[in-house]
Amino acid sequence: MEEKIIKTEYSEVMQKSYIDYAMSVIIARALPDARDGLKPVQRRVLYDMHELGIKYDKPYRKSARIVGDTMGKYHPHGDSSIYEALVVMTQAFKKGLPLIDGHGNFGNIEGDGAAAMRYTEARLEKVTQEAFLSDLDKDVVDFIPNFDETEKEPSVLPVKFPNLLVNGSEGIAVGMATSIPPHNLGEVLDAVKAYMQDESITTQGLMKYIKGPDFPTGGIVINKDELQEIYETGTGKIKVRGKVETEKGKAGKTNVIISQIPYPMIGANISKFLMDVAALSETKKTQDIVDISNQSSKEGIRIVIELKKDADVDNFINMLYKKTRLEDTFGVNMLAIAEGRPEVMGLRDIIRHNVAFQFQTATRKYTNLLAKEREKKEIQEGLIKACNVIDLVIEILRGSKDRAMAKACLTEGKVEGIKFRSKESKIMAAQLMFTEKQANAILEMRLYKLIGLELEALINDHEETMANIYRYEDILDRRDSMAQVIINELEEIRSAYAHPRKTVIENGAEAVYVEKKAEEMEVIFLMDRFGYARTIDQATYERNKEAAETENKYVFPCKNTGRICLFTDKGQLHTLKVMDLPFGKFRDKGVPIDNVSNFNGEKETVIAAASQMSLNLYRLIFVTRSGMMKVVDGGEFDVAKRTVAATKLGEGDQVVCVCPLTDQKHIVLQSAEGFFLKFPVEEIPEKKKNAVGVRGIKLGEKDFLEKVYFTQSGIDKTIEYKDKSFDLNRLKTAKRDGKGTKVRV
């Protein structure tokens, strides 16, 4: 076979391939259809269960059976994604109207996952059968080939209400995402009826019926006035609070009860909320908490926070709103596939698309029903006519040689070859003009149909058929009639499945939390070599002084209302509040400084730490790896920002030493290649923090400054150098910016 090479621009191939991939993810996987509110995987799971006959009144079937069948026939992707879609459609705490009835462990609101698919079972909910799948046999939607063209699947399900609003949707595509909150079924159906009765109705008019989102977890929406703009544009932020109540506890204490949570708190965020509340107590943000317990069960959420007797309950609740996710936001982006392309839609647009879909499916449904009734009418009229001349029909059948001869006589009046008893019969037979369908029905008619009651029933059926034809023609000819039929179906769904609203919609007042000022006291800051920091009181420090200084890299006093300054080798100064550090017993574990500051332990190293208050009393000496140095007034580091540049560094340079200038007399610089330079501290000039400084030592091409030492008058200074002791006082005092002396020990 001759090799064929197609030459093309690489960028064009990449662009086309990526666009194809992106559109595939957007259209065929991640975003719901505006008509039925379902993503492809959800639609395929429901259709497969329908095909398997797993109805609400039939036994449950293993989830693994459903997932495997769906994957093999319709959705050639991972089984985990199919099972996850099935699980979500069973969870009443995520969906306003669950579509699948799950049996077994399908997870819970606190974030526990579902059991493996081999353990759980499922079947369709009754509402899914009646409102999603019931009309599939009436050719109301198009069927398309599956991925390998061995099966047919519906391009959309004939859902009878805006499921996109009722159940909402969340999904991340390529370059876009959808986030639609769930709504109350009864309110949505009322809004649809209002739109069908007046298509010029505004979003404000629709909101007389749809007050706002109705989250399965309840809660309180507190920005009612902003909802109209959100529903106009399809984007915005909904602020949701949990429902908080109080009750009397033991010994005059007050219990704060959280009985409903914000919808975004579903899952692991409940445990995070409990940790955040505990952290408020640990970091002394509040000292009102006595105990926290999660008493949630199948009956609902119940988180109990026991407060002290004299606690300010209202202020504490406001603190929960401010400091935890008990008040959260739901980001709305009502993006769905409409007419084959992704579109951000407002409330009115979603209802408009769904109503147009309802009229489209109703037209196809009643067109097909009308065709069937007309076919029935034709056959019924033929049978009635045949019963009126039954003797002649029997004579034709007895006189014909085969079925074809009898059929030709009935349809075309051909009497050749047929034996008749009389000429009159032959003349009458020649005048018969049944249709082909009528003739087939006559030839297949059984003798018991000639009984009087059967004939009467046939006439009654014909009258019913004529009534159906008249009704279907009226529905198809008059839009008002079709609208009324759709409205009647909506009312039936409403009466069977609507439930009271769970979420309260109001304009909530801004939570005002007055933070109690902590009583100022002196504490001891401890930070170990792994970067874990905490504070203890002075008495605890005095009792454990030796252990504290042995086990920790930095130990110094500070005020609990002050800040800690961390100088890093990258020339950055990170500040953190002492209040953000845990205060407690000596053996309590601290928190990583990464968690309470902007420090990044993977990219930088702390080389000095000090209380911000104490820095105002000193000047600081900075020395870098390339030998640059300067003195900076400590007052320059009295800043409110969490991170500032502590010094200016050249390319590839690092800070080696940051040290307060006290009573040091000489500074000794040691290079990696063993050069030592000793000179008076007075020779280091004072500069601003954003200055580079001056050169302290001349270094070789590959040499760099490794260590910095200081000496004091009359005090010996001995260091370990190459595993031997070396007295720095042996070095001769030189001038700054010299090469230094090569030391050999």
CA-to-CA distance for 15 and 18, rounded, in angstroms? Answer: 5
Q: How far apart are CA 437 and CA 724, in angstroms?
A: 115
**Given the DSSP bridges, would you call strands 121-124 and 61-62 parallel, antiparallel or unpaired?**
antiparallel
Residue whose token pair is 């003739």: 439
Phi first, then psi, for residue 129 (nearest 5°) are -65, -45
- Beta strands 220-221 and 504-505, pairing class: parallel
The tokens for 13 are 């191939």
Tokens 């070396």 correspond to 726
**Cα–Cα distance for residue pair 171/135, rounded to 1 Å:** 28
Integer Cα distance of 628 and 452 in angstroms = 118
CA of 399: how far to CAs of 1, 448, 666, in Å? 70, 21, 136
Cα-to-chain-centroid distance, residue 734: 67
Q: How many beta carbons lie within 10 A of that of residue 433, not counting itself? A: 12
What's the CA gap between 195 and 348, in Å, rounded? 8
Q: Is the dihedral of CA 550, 551, 552, 556 positive or negative?
A: negative
3 state SS of 381: helix
From the list 566, 660, 556, the residue with the least C-alpha distance to 605 is 566
Tell me which residues are annotated as active site: 119
Tokens encoding 434: 């049944």
Of 240, 233, 265, the closest CA to residue 333 belongs to: 233
How many Å from the N-terminal Cα to the C-terminal Cα in the chain? 78
Q: How far is CA 598 from CA 483, 566, 572, 604, in A?
A: 61, 10, 10, 11
Place of tokens 């909506």: 490
729's tokens: 């006082």
Alpha helices in 54-178 (DSSP H): 63-73, 79-88, 126-128, 163-166
Q: How far is CA 725 from the centre of its chain?
A: 63
> For residue 344, what are the contacts with CB-CB under 8 A and spacing of at least 6?
233, 234, 235, 333, 334, 335
> How far is 669 from 681, CA to CA, in rounded Å?
11
Contacts of 738 (CB under 8 A, 6+ apart): 677, 679, 697, 698
Q: Is 279 exposed, middle or buried (0-12, 13-18, 19+ CB in 10 A)?
A: middle
DSSP 371: H
Q: Which residue has the tokens 């065929």?
A: 28
Tokens of 235: 């984007």
3-state secondary structure 166-223: HCCEEEECCCCEEEECCCCHHHHHHHHHHHHHCCCCCHHHHCCCCCCCCCCCCCEECE
Run of H or E residues at 272:
helix 268-282
